[in-house]
Amino acid sequence: MLYAQTTPADKRAAFRERLAGGELLRFPGAFNPLSARLIERKGFEGVYISGAVLSADLGLPDIGLTTLTEVAGRAKQIARMTELPAIVDADTGFGEPMNVARTVQEMEDAGLAGLHIEDQVNPKRCGHLDGKQVVDEHTALQRIRAAVDARRDPNFLIMARTDIRAVDGLDAAVDRARRLVDAGADAIFPEAMASLEEFAAIRAAVDVPLLANMTEFGKSDLFTVQQLADVGMNLVIWPVSMLRIAMGATGRALDELTDAGALTRLLPEMQHRADLYDLIDYEGYNRFDTSIFNFTVAR
């Protein structure tokens, strides 16, 4: 009832332990707190909180317009609704290395299990679009050092994302991944890899956990969990997928309203009221209420 029972510290510790085991952990993107509960209910290992989704949700493009306060606030709402660890997309860290440090502490306080900071120039853009720019190595490493220094819970995962593959090629990505690890990154998110072989090349270069981004309509083919596990990936995200699915379905429902004037035909597609109430745990609230009023007061 109300929120998850697991504390952020416990979520982080459990997440770190599982990650150290080397298996591939699946983190679908939650587009709101309720969908995070569904991700948990369906047996996934974690929840991803996407910057692209957060900005799209506000009707904004994903070009660094959202603020630290907005992202941390929304991430907190999502993270506290699930027992699963949640990782948030912190874009470029919302400013200079000093801002990156503050970002880490805010995300710790918001109950996240970790975040990723990327090496794009501001204004950043979706990693799967053309025309990206990356910062020089010194700046990229400074961001990660600042993040690592700022964290208070050693289990809070600092992941370095590098966007350099699409700008300077795979060799540059391998080199940057190595340096980001030397700077203290706990994990690497190599963005916009073109093939499984490219993921494998990063795997061969560094020993830390690696994340694969299976976003649709981008630069990577959509590999299966098995394919990614076979090349040694440790985390996989489908960052915007659930929002795309929900928005696709919403568009079709609106068309049906226009065409048929009622949604009767779409009832089988809908989450049933009973399933919604079950997910929200209405029963738990009911128990809470009856326990409050189970006494009498003498006059």
Ligand X SMILES: C[C@](O)(C(=O)O)[C@H](CC(=O)O)C(=O)O
Active-site annotation holder among 12, 16, 45, 126: 126
216 is catalytic: no
- Give the separation between CA 262 and CA 284, rounded to whole angstroms: 34
62 noted as active-site residue? yes
116 carries an active-site annotation: yes
Q: Is residue 119 at the binding interface for Mg ion, with CB under 5 A as the rule?
A: no
Choose, from 62, 119, 186, 198, the residue flagged as catalytic: 62
| Interaction of residue 93 with Mg ion, rule CB under 5 A | no
Catalytic residue among 45, 48, 119, 165: 48
215 contacts which partner out of ligand X, Mg ion, none, CB within 5 to 8 A by kind?
ligand X
Q: Strands 86-89 and 114-118, how do they pair?
A: parallel
Smallest distance, Å, CB 263 to ligand X? 30
Closest separation in Å from C-beta 258 to ligand X: 29
Smaller CB distance to Mg ion: residue 4 or 71? Answer: 71
Instruction: Give, as ranges, the residues between 11 and 70 that touch Mg ion (CB under 5 A).
Output: 51-52
CA distances from 299 to 168, 272, 296 (A): 81, 46, 10
Instruction: Please name which of 156, 144, 269, 161 lies closest in space to residue 215, comparing C-alpha atoms.
Output: 161
> Is the CB of 179 or the CB of 219 nearer to ligand X?
219
- Find how far residue 126's CA is from the centre of its chain: 14
- CB of 217: closest distance to Mg ion in angstroms? 14
Using DSSP, how many helices (H) and how many strands (E) does the chain show? 13, 8
Residue 128: name its binding partner from Mg ion, ligand X, none (Cβ under 5 to 8 Å by kind): ligand X
Shortest distance (Å) from residue 219 CB to ligand X? 9
Q: Using DSSP, state whether 150 is helix, strand or coil.
A: helix
Q: Where along the sequence are the contacts to ligand X (CB under 6 A)?
A: 50-52, 62, 89, 126-128, 213, 215, 218, 239-240
Q: Does 91 participate in catalysis according to the annotation?
A: yes
Token digits of residue 86 = 């949640």
239 binds, among Mg ion, ligand X, none (CB under 5 to 8 A by kind): ligand X
149 is an active site residue: no
| Choice between 40 and 62, CB closer to ligand X | 62
Q: Is 89 in the site for Mg ion (CB under 5 A)?
A: yes
268 secondary structure, DSSP code? G
Count of residues in contact with Mg ion, rule CB under 5 A? 3
Catalytic residue check, 126? yes
Query: CA 101, CA 149: separation in Å to the nearest integer?
Result: 7
Query: What contacts 24+ positions apart, CB below 8 Å, involve 57-64?
Result: 57/31, 57/32, 57/243, 62/124, 62/125, 62/126, 63/123, 63/124, 63/125, 64/91, 64/92, 64/122, 64/123, 64/124
The DSSP string of 205-262 is H--S-BEEE--TTSSS----HHHHHHTT--EEEETTHHHHHHHHHHHHHHHHHHHHSS
Selected catalytic residue, list 106, 118, 119, 198: 118
Spatial separation of the C-alpha atoms in residues 114 and 124, rounded to whole Å: 20
Known catalytic residues are: 48, 62, 89, 91, 116, 118, 126, 161, 191, 213
Q: Which residues bind Mg ion (CB under 5 A)?
A: 51-52, 89
